[in-house]
Structure 1
Amino acid sequence: MSAPAPGVWEFDAIGTRWHIVTAAPLAEAARADIAQLIDGFDREWSRFRADSVVSALADGGDAPLPKDAADMLGLYAELSDATGGAVNPLVGESLARRGYDAAYSLRDTGAQPAPANWRDVLTWSNGTLALTAPALIDVGALGKGRLVDLVTDWLLECAAQASADGAVVVDASGDIRLAGTTERIALEHPYDPGKAIGVWQVAGGALCASAANRRAWGEGLHHVLDARTGEPVTTIAATWALAPTATLADALATALFFDGGPALAHRWGVEWVRMTTTGRLEWSAGAVDAGADLFVGR
């Protein structure tokens, strides 16, 4: 008996393009459940939605703790410590002032550092998420990776319950997690999207990428800000990180834009590649052994 034909589903959600491949086509009910899962996460964490928990807390106050908050904000604490405060979940207002706001105005009104004492302003304990002062939470450093994990885990659980083939690929525009399959994934050149700087053969786990040419506007403005200054990063152009989960890979892809990122990746056992704005490639000691085939800079 031949293997079932794979199912391919493409759709737009949370402002990005999704591409999901499963061993068999997903039923409409399953697609509806995934859409509901994504919308639920977005209603909690999106700073672009007026009805989200993040938007409701912007003036200060508290709300019931979202189920992903402890894990995500705990990782933020590690990212912040490793990068000397460059990564900070209260960078939302800094991004908005540079033009990446809820209205996508793309109008730069100047740099504003995020609160350096963010762990005093933002708390998550006893079932409550709270802000002691007005601030705008932004979980962009790892939130998309977290959502990719939630979708992948949901698909794998459904496959296990049905005793079906659990081969899955979930790709949310550069944040990719695989299970039960091996894929060769091109590493897009940040200065020429028609080219690749290499290919990474991924046998399960997650490969996440981040680049300054994505979500960019104006002269030198893009979505990767140093929270300490409110200024866009100027030394690193693109990063890639391979980890067991997309949450970790996405977090490290962000941390790698800053000093301290490679050391954190080493502690977490995550392999990585990054390109500087001068075009130089850097990579972890185990990246090539982990499947990275780099075309330039070797």
Structure 2
Amino acid sequence: MPVWRFEAIGTRWEIESARELTDEERSTATAVIDRFDREWSRFRSDSVVASLVEGGSAPLPPDAADMLDAYRELSDATDGAVNPLIGGSLAALGYDASISLVASDPRPAPADWRSILGWDGRLTLAGPAIIDVGALGKGRLVDLVLQALAGVLGDVVVDASGDLAVRGGSIRVGLEHPFDPTRAIGVATIRDQALCASAINRRAWGNGLHHVLDARTGVPVRTWAATWAIAADALHADAAATALFFDGGARLAETWGVSWVRMSTDGRVQRSPGCPIELFTGTP
């Protein structure tokens, strides 16, 4: 199938389709990405998120309710380990708006985030805080791009560097080993579903610093190295892939009907009951 490759939101995208996308279809997809980035990026000064770092309110972005309602479930399931106000914690470790990668002391995210962040009619912050929707935002955006291409007949695959959604024919996807990117620990077959992955070797810097933090401590997770989740949509696959780094994540995945695999930092592999992913024999 023809493949359209491009860079957006700091990551590599590939969109495969049964035929070459027209210029209008490409413009439609990029407009969706640009709109989402203007609303939710904490790396650009003109975003909605950036306008609220000192508190205040802004018009409610159209994706706010779906994403923040999912965050409420994530937070409840993980006993507060996942939190949409984790942006300040990431910034404290150097993953800030300028990506300085200069770390200071860990900073827990506000435990009472639901009393600070509101999304009823408007997006509001009761005080200074940094919203970061990285636990599920890329998955949501993959869904939106796939929806924007609804008029494209035939098979379509939207892949944003490991977070992907498939419409139509099935594809086989290797599960990259988190400690050796030249190897795979298994293969997933995806058809009319989404597969999202998260790993501590991606967006990593410094001595043991990476982007998957426990919001309760502001410290990077140490038990799990990589997660993969299959769901009906990429938002829930992405959210489950994040939750699986914490206690309670497997229960939430079961509630959502998500299949999953995860690898610990000492090489153990777990999978959900009935998970259709083929794991290779002898995986360490």
TM-score by length of 1: 0.94
CA 291–237 in structure 1, closer or farther in 2 if over 3 Å, else same: closer
For 2:272 and 2:25, the matched residues in 1 are separated by 39
Identify which of 260, 264, 288 aligns with 2:248: 260
1:130 is aligned to 2:91: no
For 2:270 and 2:170, the matched residues in 1 are separated by 24
For 1:96 and 1:194, the matched residues in 2 are separated by 31
1:108 is aligned to 2:103: yes
Map 1:134-149 onto structure 2 (within 5 A).
134-149=128-143
1:292 is aligned to 2:275: no
User: In the alignment, is the contact (CA less than 8 A) between 2:83 and 2:215 conserved in 1?
Assistant: yes
Q: Which residue of 2 aligns with 1:24?
A: 19
1:81 is aligned to 2:67: no
CA 291–239 in structure 1, closer or farther in 2 if over 3 Å, else same: closer
Deviation at 1:297, TM superposition (A): 4.7
Report % sequence identity: 61
1:177 is aligned to 2:165: yes
For 1:31 and 1:42, the matched residues in 2 are separated by 17
For 1:74 and 1:153, the matched residues in 2 are separated by 20
Identify which of 221, 229, 233 aligns with 1:241: 229
| Residue ranges of structure 2 left out of the alignment (5+ in a row) | none
- Tell me the amino acid that sits aligned with residue 215 of structure 2: A
Secondary structure (helix, strand or coil) at the match of 1:181 reads: coil
Deviation at 1:35, TM superposition (A): 1.0
- Tell me the amino acid that sits aligned with residue 24 of structure 2: A
May I ask how many residue pairs the two structures share in their alignment?
284
| Residue ranges of structure 1 left out of the alignment (5+ in a row) | 1-5
Identify which of 104, 117, 120 aligns with 2:115: 120
User: In the alignment, is the contact (CA less than 8 A) between 1:198 and 1:296 conserved in 2?
Assistant: no
1:152 is aligned to 2:138: no
**Cα shift readout 1:123-154 (whole Å, capped 9, x = no counterpart):** 010x2000001000000000000000000111
Deviation at 1:226, TM superposition (A): 0.2
Q: Which residue of 2 aligns with 1:15?
A: 10
Q: Which moved more, 1:199-208 or 1:41-50?
A: 199-208
Q: Which residue of 2 aligns with 1:281?
A: 269
TM-score by length of 2: 0.98
Deviation at 1:69, TM superposition (A): 0.2
User: In the alignment, is the contact (CA less than 8 A) between 1:91 and 1:136 conserved in 2?
Assistant: yes
